[in-house]
């Protein structure tokens, strides 16, 4: 991918905010930002990160790497102690920066932090009303957003009594109703069962493919990132140590090890299989489906169809 900067195997931070070379429009730029919490803990350190139009970019790193701290800088909830964050060229801490939450919506890891109104509909309407829309339009936006996440039947419920998966859907609807350019998800599937996880994954894909949104996905679930991300950034010790395509990053074992991560399960499976059978290949499948279509196995599909791997 253009503009990718794979980090060194030592996991050293990418040293500077080199100009982005992507053909897509740059929407957001975290320019060498650091954040020190009041107790002196370093959340992020001289971190450089960009978001482009219409992409899903995954921020991958182990617990404590700085993913959530970075996410909270994207809509100005946190301000950098040094460096700056710009959205559409405007600094989040500068004049007019207070308005930038309109362009960047954040779905927090704990949905309880986001839901507070007496009913689901009130909750999802809150954003559009805050944008200044009249109540009838805000209601329409909220209902459309609840339909988009497949939860129109929840509108009269009390948020406190929803299941974890339902709360996450409502929290996403609340952000969708504001129609931001960028939606950042902090560990969106970490506490969900596989069925709800798959629903959220489908919603994230749809945001990019059908609504043209940019999505930032903070996750330590590399299997999820390998399925849906267009670009992967590895975060370690508060800094970005790599920025590249999923195939570049997830097939670089040294880099993943340096970041404190394990390769996605399909990558590990494919690599082990090739090693076991002595297969040399430059193919880099990321999903089980891609593995099943790998040229490595094409000779087994010749002729009448199914043949056993001997
Ligand atoms: N409110 C806070 N006060 C002090 N330290 C914090 C706070 N929030 C996060 N940290 C620290 O900042 C670092 C990065 O944390 P975080 O951004 O939550 O990482 P991640 O989301 O990747 O798990 C960690 O060392 C964490 O302990
Ligand atoms: Mg986190």
For residue 68 and ligand 1, the question of a CB distance below 6 A is answered with: yes
Residues 223 and 148 in one domain: yes
Average pLDDT over residues 66-89: 94
* % of the chain with per-residue pLDDT over 70: 88
Note down the domain range covering 283. Answer: 264-298
Ligand nearest to the CA of 64: 1
Q: Which of 67-71, 213-217, 286-290, 292-296 has the lowest mean pLDDT?
A: 292-296
Is the distance from CB of 39 to CB of 71 less than 8 angstroms? Answer: no
Count of domains for the chain: 2
Is a pLDDT exceeding 80 seen at residue 307?
A: no
Residues 81 and 203 in one domain: yes
18 lies in a domain?
Answer: no
Residues 125 and 270 in one domain: no
For residue 130 and ligand 1, the question of a CB distance below 6 A is answered with: no
Residues 183 and 283 in one domain: no
Pocket test for ligand 1, best of 30, 42, 61, 66 (most atoms within 8 A of CB): 66
Residues 202 and 285 in one domain: no
Which atom belonging to ligand 1 lies closest to the Cα atom of 41? 5
Read off the pLDDT of residues 248-304 as tens digits, 9 standing for 90 and up: 999 999 999 999 999 999 999 999 999 998 998 999 999 999 998 888 877 665 554
180 lies in a domain?
Answer: yes
Q: Residue 97 corresponds to which tokens in the numbers above?
A: 């920066």
Is a pLDDT exceeding 80 seen at residue 58?
A: yes
Average pLDDT over residues 57-82: 95
What DSSP designation does 162 have? S
Q: Which of 32-46, 48-62, 108-122, 155-169 has the lowest mean pLDDT?
A: 108-122
Residues 248 and 273 in one domain: no
10 lies in a domain?
Answer: no
Residues 127 and 175 in one domain: yes
Residues 164 and 284 in one domain: no
Phi-psi region of 155 (alpha: psi -120 to 50; beta: other; left: phi over 0): alpha
16 lies in a domain?
Answer: no
Is a pLDDT exceeding 80 seen at residue 100?
A: no
Alpha helices, DSSP H only, in the chain? 67-74, 120-130, 135-148, 164-176, 194-209, 222-228, 246-250, 253-259, 265-276, 288-292
Predicted pLDDT of residue 110: 83
Q: How many alpha carbons fall within 13 Å on the CB side of residue 122?
A: 9
Q: How far is the CA of 67 from the centre of ligand 2 (A)?
A: 5
CATH of the domain at 199: 3.40.50.300
Predicted pLDDT of residue 247: 96
The band of 111, judged by pLDDT with boundaries at 50, 70 and 90, is confident
Predicted pLDDT of residue 28: 96
Is a pLDDT exceeding 50 seen at residue 126?
A: yes
248 lies in a domain?
Answer: yes
Is a pLDDT exceeding 70 seen at residue 54?
A: yes
* % of the chain with per-residue pLDDT over 90: 70
Q: What is the rounded average pLDDT for all residues in the chain?
A: 88
Average pLDDT over residues 99-112: 85
Residues 171 and 287 in one domain: no
CA distance 275 to 231: 27
Average pLDDT over residues 79-85: 95
Tally Cβ neighbours within 10 Å of residue 186: 21
């Amino acid at each position: 991918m253009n503009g990718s900067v794979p980090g060194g195997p030592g996991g050293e931070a990418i040293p500077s905010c080199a100009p982005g070379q992507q053909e897509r429009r740059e929407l957001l730029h975290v320019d060498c930002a650091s954040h020190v919490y009041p107790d002196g803990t370093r959340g992020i350190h001289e971190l450089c990160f960009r978001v482009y139009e219409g992409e899903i970019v995954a921020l991958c790193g182990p617990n404590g790497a700085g993913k959530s701290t970075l996410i909270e800088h994207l809509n100005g909830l946190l301000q950098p102690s040094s460096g700056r964050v710009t959205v559409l060229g405007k600094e989040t801490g500068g004049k007019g920066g207070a308005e930038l939450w309109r362009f960047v919506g954040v779905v927090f890891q704990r949905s309880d932090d986001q839901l507070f109104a007496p009913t689901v509909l009130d909750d999802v309407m809150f954003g559009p009303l805050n944008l200044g829309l009249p109540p009838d339009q805000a209601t329409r936006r909220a209902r459309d957003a609840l339909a988009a996440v497949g939860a129109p039947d929840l509108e009269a419920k009390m948020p406190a009594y929803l299941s974890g998966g339902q709360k996450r859907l409502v929290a996403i609807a609340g952000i969708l109703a504001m129609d931001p350019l960028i939606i950042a998800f902090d560990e969106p599937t970490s506490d969900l069962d596989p069925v709800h996880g798959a629903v959220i994954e489908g919603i994230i894909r749809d945001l990019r493919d059908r609504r043209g949104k940019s999505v930032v996905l903070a996750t330590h679930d590399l299997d999820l990132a390998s399925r849906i991300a267009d670009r992967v950034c590895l975060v370690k010790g508060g800094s970005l140590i790599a920025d590249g395509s999923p195939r570049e990053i997830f097939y670089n074992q040294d880099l993943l090890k340096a970041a404190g991560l394990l390769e996605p399960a399909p990558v590990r499976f494919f690599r082990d299989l090739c090693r076991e059978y002595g297969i040399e290949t430059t193919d880099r499948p990321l999903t089980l489906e891609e593995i099943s279509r790998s040229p490595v196995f094409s000779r087994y599909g010749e002729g009448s169809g199914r043949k056993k791997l001997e």
